[in-house]
């Protein structure tokens, strides 16, 4: 017995004939429908199974289309899947696919999804994002990645050309939210098999997205043109999308001002000035990443950090408001929770240290340290490790200054990125700068990190916390469980939460349709248009 499960967003979207582009009243379209945006670096891969970057995903969402897309608020709306059903035990999803074509005119079938997903978990592909299919809890994914089962054992099959069935190992409340991710996009089997690794080159690449790949000069630019074969091509306005690599953010800003780019990130510290000068162009919106100083509580970590009073003192003593208002200056928010404040359905616990004044917090921190046996005679000495980056350095210096009055001596330890990561993952650090970005818009994407078997570099572990997150997997109402989990993090302080990210950009006001309420900044070139001045 299966029950029809259709979200309101799905219904709303289906009732609209055209939802690709909504042209605002009073806007007329510019003759030149080209959008040129900034890329910090080269696009590393255009293979949905091998891409690991946000910038790569942005391009892949134009070249390919998954079962689901996101609207401007980050809600799931139909992509290739026209509708879907969920079994009562929440373990089987059945998707009905629409009539859509690949850019070479071949039809997109359920088998293309089966092939693509099997390819991601196939050990021969060696996909760095194979874990993503595991995160989706698809049957046998883990065993296949481990080489213990054949790729065709994956819990996904084509019932017919237009019907795709997915079997999960456990109810997964966020399952539908994972389907707009590039890793889940279909790939054309014949093209991949014929061209091998070179299938993503402009001459070979075949996609099912709203755009096709016109050219790709690695580290220079990537150009996409509108795909006439796309099922909703009539509603796509943008003709050309161009990503231009500029490796230096300040030069990129200069080139934006010279009119070469329509969108660029604002370099750290320049937002207030630009906002004043160009109020219509400088934009700061919440962005789903969270910044913290993780504490190593493992056996390899310092004795002091095993004492919750010391961890609490560190959390209390950091003046996040000054960091956000004086150092970052880009609309970021001070954080007292690990989960980003703007995550869907999440409410941070109230009370706690955010309600205390800074002098009160410092007082309490000193008391805690004294109780733990640290003071002027026995100062607490810790090292804070961060990877090479100007803003990480500034923040680390600020943290050092905030903790000094408490009698904590912080030694700053700057290392390059790979060394930083390597040490984090082998628990070879005391305090370390860390940031996590949401994979999907639900609190578990953050909270899972601190699970005993999560990434959890500091190796903090708490039974009740693990229990809460396990319950949340199947719970009807997850909000109180997540709130309690955050309370435990606040009490136990396995990390000092510092701030929640904002995306701070200069955007050409002629470009319309870029989402400003999508926390993951998932944007689709097919939703954009350029208005005439």
**Binding footprint of another protein on the chain (CB under 8 A):** 42, 44-47, 50, 52, 123-124, 126-128, 130-131, 134, 142, 145-147, 197-198, 200-201, 217-221, 244-248, 250-251, 254-255, 257-258, 260, 416-419, 421-423, 425, 435, 455
Kind of pairing, strands 81-87 and 92-97?
A: antiparallel
Measured from the CB atom, the residue of 221 and 239 that comes closer to another protein is 221
| Smallest separation (angstroms) from another protein to the CB of 204 | 10
Measured from the CB atom, the residue of 420 and 500 that comes closer to another protein is 420
Show Cβ contacts of residue 259 under 8 Å, excluding neighbours closer than 6 positions: none
| Smallest separation (angstroms) from another protein to the CB of 436 | 8
Measured from the CB atom, the residue of 246 and 343 that comes closer to another protein is 246
Structure token digits, residue 356: 């205390």
| Smallest separation (angstroms) from another protein to the CB of 418 | 3
Measured from the CB atom, the residue of 124 and 303 that comes closer to another protein is 124
d(CA 79, CA 13): 11
Measured from the CB atom, the residue of 46 and 91 that comes closer to another protein is 46
Q: What are phi and psi of 121, to 5 degrees?
A: -85, -15
Sign of dihedral through CA atoms 461, 462, 467, 470?
negative
Measured from the CB atom, the residue of 216 and 361 that comes closer to another protein is 216
Cβ pair 185, 206 in contact under 8 A: no
Our CA dihedral for 234, 240, 246, 250, rounded to 10 degrees, sits at -70
| Smallest separation (angstroms) from another protein to the CB of 435 | 8
Q: What is the DSSP string of 124-158?
A: TT--TTHHHHHHTTBTTHHHHHTTSS-GGGSSEEE
- Buried b or exposed e, range 372-397, using 16+ CB within 10 angstroms: bebeeeeebebebbbbeeeebebbbe
| Smallest separation (angstroms) from another protein to the CB of 261 | 9
| Smallest separation (angstroms) from another protein to the CB of 421 | 5
Structure token digits, residue 314: 């560190």
| Smallest separation (angstroms) from another protein to the CB of 496 | 18
| Smallest separation (angstroms) from another protein to the CB of 292 | 13
The gap between the terminal CA atoms of the chain, to the nearest Å, is 56
**Count of alpha carbons within 13 angstroms of residue 85, beta-carbon side:** 11
Measured from the CB atom, the residue of 241 and 408 that comes closer to another protein is 241
Measured from the CB atom, the residue of 361 and 420 that comes closer to another protein is 420
| Smallest separation (angstroms) from another protein to the CB of 270 | 14
Give, in order, the Cα–Cα distances in Å from 451 to each of 426, 469, 518.
17, 8, 26
Of how many residues is the chain composed? 533
| Smallest separation (angstroms) from another protein to the CB of 176 | 22
Q: What is the DSSP string of 238-307?
A: --EEEEEE-S-HHHHHHHHHTTS-SEEEPPTT-HHHHHHH-TTTEEEEEEEEEEEEEE--STTS-GGGGS
Measured from the CB atom, the residue of 1 and 203 that comes closer to another protein is 203
| Smallest separation (angstroms) from another protein to the CB of 140 | 13
Give, in order, the Cα–Cα distances in Å from 242 to each of 34, 176, 185, 420, 473.
7, 30, 21, 33, 40
| Smallest separation (angstroms) from another protein to the CB of 134 | 7
Measured from the CB atom, the residue of 267 and 515 that comes closer to another protein is 267
Give, in order, the Cα–Cα distances in Å from 384 to each of 361, 398, 414, 495.
21, 12, 8, 12
d(CA 217, CA 221): 5
Place of tokens 């060394």: 419
Kind of pairing, strands 81-87 and 408-415?
A: unpaired
Measured from the CB atom, the residue of 132 and 271 that comes closer to another protein is 132
Cβ pair 129, 183 in contact under 8 A: yes
Measured from the CB atom, the residue of 42 and 324 that comes closer to another protein is 42
């Amino acid at each position: 017995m299966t029950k029809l499960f259709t979200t309101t967003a799905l219904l709303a979207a289906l009732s609209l004939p055209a939802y690709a582009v909504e042209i605002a009243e009073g806007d007329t379209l510019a003759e030149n429908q080209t959008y040129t945006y900034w890329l910090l670096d080269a696009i590393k891969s255009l293979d949905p199974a091998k891409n690991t970057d946000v910038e790569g995903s942005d391009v892949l969402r134009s070249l390919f289309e998954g079962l689901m897309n996101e609207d401007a608020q980050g809600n799931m709306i139909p992509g290739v899947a026209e509708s879907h059903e969920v079994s009562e035990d929440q373990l089987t999803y059945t998707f009905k696919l629409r009539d859509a074509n690949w850019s070479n005119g071949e039809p997109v079938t359920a088998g293309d999804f089966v092939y693509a997903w099997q390819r991601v978990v196939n050990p021969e592909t060696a996909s760095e994002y194979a874990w993503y299919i595991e995160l989706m809890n698809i049957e046998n994914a883990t065993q296949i990645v481990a080489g213990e089962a054949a790729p065709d054992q994956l819990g996904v099959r084509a019932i017919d050309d237009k019907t795709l069935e997915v079997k999960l190992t456990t109810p997964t409340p966020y399952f539908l939210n994972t389907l707009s991710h590039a890793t889940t996009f279909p790939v054309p089997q014949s093209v991949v098999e014929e061209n091998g690794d070179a299938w993503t080159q402009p001459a070979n690449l075949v996609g099912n997205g709203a755009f096709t790949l016109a050219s790709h000069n690695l580290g220079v630019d990537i150009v996409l043109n509108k795909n006439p074969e796309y099922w909703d091509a009539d509603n796509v306005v943008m003709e050309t999308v161009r990503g231009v690599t500029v490796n230096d953010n300040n030069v990129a800003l200069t080139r934006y001002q010279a009119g070469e780019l329509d969108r660029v990130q604002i370099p750290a510290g320049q937002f207030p000035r630009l906002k004043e000068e160009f109020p219509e162009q400088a934009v700061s919106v919440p962005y789903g990443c969270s910044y913290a100083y993780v504490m190593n509580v493992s056996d390899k970590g310092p004795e002091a950090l095993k004492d919750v009073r010391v961890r609490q003192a560190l959390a209390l003593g950091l003046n996040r408001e000054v960091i956000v208002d004086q150092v970052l200056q880009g609309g970021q928010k001070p954080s007292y929770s690990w989960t980003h404040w703007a995550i869907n359905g999440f409410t941070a616990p109230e009370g706690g240290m955010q309600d205390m004044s800074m002098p009160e917090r410092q007082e309490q921190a000193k008391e805690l340290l004294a109780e733990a046996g640290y003071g002027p005679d026995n100062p607490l000495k810790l090292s804070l490790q961060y990877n090479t980056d100007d803003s990480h350095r500034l923040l680390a210096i600020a943290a050092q200054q905030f903790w000094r009055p408490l009698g904590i001596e912080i030694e700053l330890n700057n290392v390059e990125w790979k060394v930083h990561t390597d040490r984090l993952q082998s628990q070879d650090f005391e305090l370390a700068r860390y940031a996590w970005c949401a994979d999907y818009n639900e609190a578990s994407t953050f909270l899972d990190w601190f699970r005993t078997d999560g990434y959890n570099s500091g190796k903090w572990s708490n039974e009740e916390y693990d229990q809460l997150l396990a319950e949340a997997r199947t719970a009807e109402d997850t909000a109180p469980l997540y709130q309690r989990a955050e309370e435990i993090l606040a009490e136990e302080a396995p990390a000092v939460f510092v701030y929640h990210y904002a995306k701070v950009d200069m955007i050409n006001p002629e470009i319309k349709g870029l989402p400003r309420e999508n926390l993951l900044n998932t944007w689709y070139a097919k939703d954009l248009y350029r208005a005439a001045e």
